[in-house]
Structure 1
Amino acid sequence: MTDHDEAAAVLPLTLAWVNRHLEVGERIVRTEALHGGITAEMRRLTIGTRDGSTRDLVLRSFVDPFYVGHAEDWLNREAGALSLLAGSGVPAPGLVAADPTAAHCAYPSLLMTHLAGRTVLDDEGLETRVPLLARQLVAIHALRPAERPRKYVTLTTADTVVTPRGADAAAWAAAINVIRKPAPPYEGRFLHRDFQPGNVLFDVPPPRSTGVRITGVVDWAAASWGPADLDVAHCSTNLALLHGPAWGLRFAEAYEEAGGVLAAAASERLYWRVRDGLACSEEVRLVARPWREAGRAELTTRAVEGRLDAYITTLMDALG
């Protein structure tokens, strides 16, 4: 077995567990660290098959002590979501095995199939990708599982919001007051709960050709049941921080154009969009780091804070 880089090494206990879930005659021939995640270490495992060909699996392991504390819940939810999504038409990984409590592995882990494609975070081609993202999210929300996942959770409160330095104080104070109110009523939907460009894989043909398409949606650890507006708000926030506030507003329009249904009242839409934007204020540094690692070097913590301020201000002007 060869490692693509030092960080790709799989510890012996975990390696033995993976091997137990391979087909007879298969073996791991290569491991490669996948970058861009925040909570877990991701590795692509190239599996040599009996006929001399190869196939790829992905190993997700929670290593950081803080996230290990959440791993059992997250991995159980992801395993449940992947099982539910099998055969649904949503391009999600297939579940191979899960060890949420590290009963067999060095760390809590999940093994799944590898999907073709790559994340695309560049500004170029965004006008084509946004409608694709919207249609994919509508398809996810259309699922009606026999057994619902647990209700969504939001942790941000008016007291935990971190107002960026130099932000529009009046706009942020008004936004914070919005989430002091109770959550609006909603019709429940199956939520990804972290649907955003970093968790969507694309097949992007060479320049000047057509046929851009989504090949996969990954990271289902927060799958839950709740308002469609919450998923739309989360993707909108990410698009606003990656590409500018106008794209945050544009995504909600694209979602409705694709057949999605959002809250009827402007005040209710504002609640969910502001709630997600304010939640991001608490983790700007964590959000910005993988974007820079993916090539968006200009998205420093300070730059992302500036875009978040602009987005919150735009939301309050547009919907407040």
Structure 2
Amino acid sequence: MNHDEAATVRPLTLAWVSRHLEAGERIVKAVALHGGITAEMRRLTIGTRDGGTRDLVLRTYVDPFYLEHAEGGLYAEAGALTLLTGTGVPAPSLVAVDPTAAQCEFPSLLMTHLAGRTVLDDQEVETRVRLLARQLVAIHALRPVERPRKYVTLTTADTVIVPKGADAAVWSEAIDVIRKPAPPCEGRFLHRDFQPGNVLFDVPPSNPEDARITGVVDWAAASWGPVDLDVAHCSVNLALLHGPAWGMRFAEAYEESRGVLAATASERLYWRVRDALAASEEVRSVSQPWREAGRAELTTRSVEERLDAYVTALMDAPG
């Protein structure tokens, strides 16, 4: 195999992957994929019997912090990828999964590789926002025979981290919003981590406005819950990546794409504030992959400032 150190596939995992290849196929190359937070990701190039190649993607949980949730996440992702087969949502196909590390050194999942790339720069954001909104509406329109697990929100009023220099009164008011019980909702199928880092695009260099989505990845948190939570999560990521105005814009784009949000302004505010406050606990972990992807200006401090501005905009919004 040709690989660098970061891409090395461990022996037991290598044997496990090989058992799930077609007769006459072999792994000829492994490349580490960067940008993920919870797991190691590798693209495996497979030599086929006819002399060609195809690619697979290997997800491996090794970090002790995330290993605790690896089994549940891999079962959820495997179930989601199976459910999505034939739906038109451009998701990978499941090849194999070892949620308990029965055969691999660590819990692992093997899936097909999708064409395209993540796009995190500021050019043509409006075009991508509209595409993201349409794609999310299509995901929420799915009606699986078997519902996935119920959504999870880990943030509480006591775990929010108020950014340095933020208006204490505004943040106190925002924290009070999530002290209330969650609004009742009609559940839908959620990605639960739908954001630009988990969406692949094909962007023609000569005409960026003709961009299209080629894939939606990382279904480990797939669940059943309020569509507002998925919309809120993408909104806060757009706010941190491109500025607070784009976080506010995404909900509008979702409704323009015939997505239906919660009935009242207070219900919509609850979910948007909840996910924004959740981001306060993850600023460092989310900003580092963005810098590694080329957004060097997105320091932890600058992202904190954008989050503060976004929370303020949410609390100042009419209604």
Question: Which TM-score band (shorter chain)?
Answer: over 0.9
Structure 1 position 207, deviation (Å): 3.1
Q: What does 1:259-270 correspond to in 2, within 5 Å?
A: 259-270=258-269
Listed one character per residue, the Cα deviations across residues 19-69 of structure 1 (whole Å, up to 9, x for unaligned) are 000000000000000000000000000000000000000000001111111
Give the TM-score of the pair, scaled to structure 2: 0.99
**Residue matched to 1:33:** 32
**Residue matched to 2:211:** 212
Q: What does 1:175-194 correspond to in 2, within 5 Å?
A: 175-194=174-193
Q: Contact conserved, 1:270 with 1:319, CA < 8 A, in 2?
A: no
Listed one character per residue, the Cα deviations across residues 130-178 of structure 1 (whole Å, up to 9, x for unaligned) are 0000000000000000000011011111011000110111110000000
Structure 1 position 208, deviation (Å): 3.4
Q: Contact conserved, 1:61 with 1:109, CA < 8 A, in 2?
A: yes
- The one-letter code matched in structure 2 to 1:100 is P
**1:74 and 2:73 matched:** yes
Q: What does 1:29-108 correspond to in 2, within 5 Å?
A: 29-108=28-107
**Residue matched to 1:170:** 169
Task: Give the whole-Å Cα distance in 2 for the aligned partners of 1:38 and 1:210.
Answer: 30
**Residue matched to 2:160:** 161
Task: Give the whole-Å Cα distance in 2 for the aligned partners of 1:249 and 1:185.
Answer: 23
Structure 1 position 210, deviation (Å): 4.6
Q: Contact conserved, 2:27 with 2:45, CA < 8 A, in 1?
A: yes
Matched residue SS, 1:179: helix
Q: Contact conserved, 1:46 with 1:56, CA < 8 A, in 2?
A: yes
Task: Give the whole-Å Cα distance in 2 for the aligned partners of 1:186 and 1:180.
Answer: 17
Listed one character per residue, the Cα deviations across residues 95-116 of structure 1 (whole Å, up to 9, x for unaligned) are 0000001100111000000000
Unaligned runs of 5+ in 1: none
Structure 1 position 211, deviation (Å): 2.2
Q: Contact conserved, 1:57 with 1:112, CA < 8 A, in 2?
A: yes
Matched residue SS, 1:22: coil
**Residue matched to 2:238:** 239
Task: Give the whole-Å Cα distance in 1 for the aligned partners of 2:56 and 2:172.
Answer: 47
**Residue matched to 1:112:** 111
Task: Give the whole-Å Cα distance in 1 for the aligned partners of 2:136 and 2:127.
Answer: 15
Give the TM-score of the pair, scaled to structure 1: 0.99
Task: Give the whole-Å Cα distance in 2 for the aligned partners of 1:86 and 1:168.
Answer: 47
Structure 1 position 125, deviation (Å): 1.0
**Residue matched to 1:13:** 12
Aligned residues: 319
Task: Give the whole-Å Cα distance in 2 for the aligned partners of 1:200 and 1:46.
Answer: 21
Using the aligned pairs only, state the percent identity. Answer: 81
Task: Give the whole-Å Cα distance in 1 for the aligned partners of 2:206 and 2:250.
Answer: 24
**Residue matched to 2:290:** 291
Structure 1 position 319, deviation (Å): 4.5
Q: Contact conserved, 1:267 with 1:319, CA < 8 A, in 2?
A: no
**Cα 1:215/1:50, change in 2 over 3 Å:** same
**Residue matched to 2:313:** 314
Task: Give the whole-Å Cα distance in 1 for the aligned partners of 2:193 and 2:253.
Answer: 18
- The one-letter code matched in structure 2 to 1:149 is P
Q: Hey, which bits of structure 1, 4+ residues long, moved more than 4 A?
A: none
**Residue matched to 1:280:** 279
Task: Give the whole-Å Cα distance in 2 for the aligned partners of 1:268 and 1:252.
Answer: 13
- The one-letter code matched in structure 1 to 2:9 is V
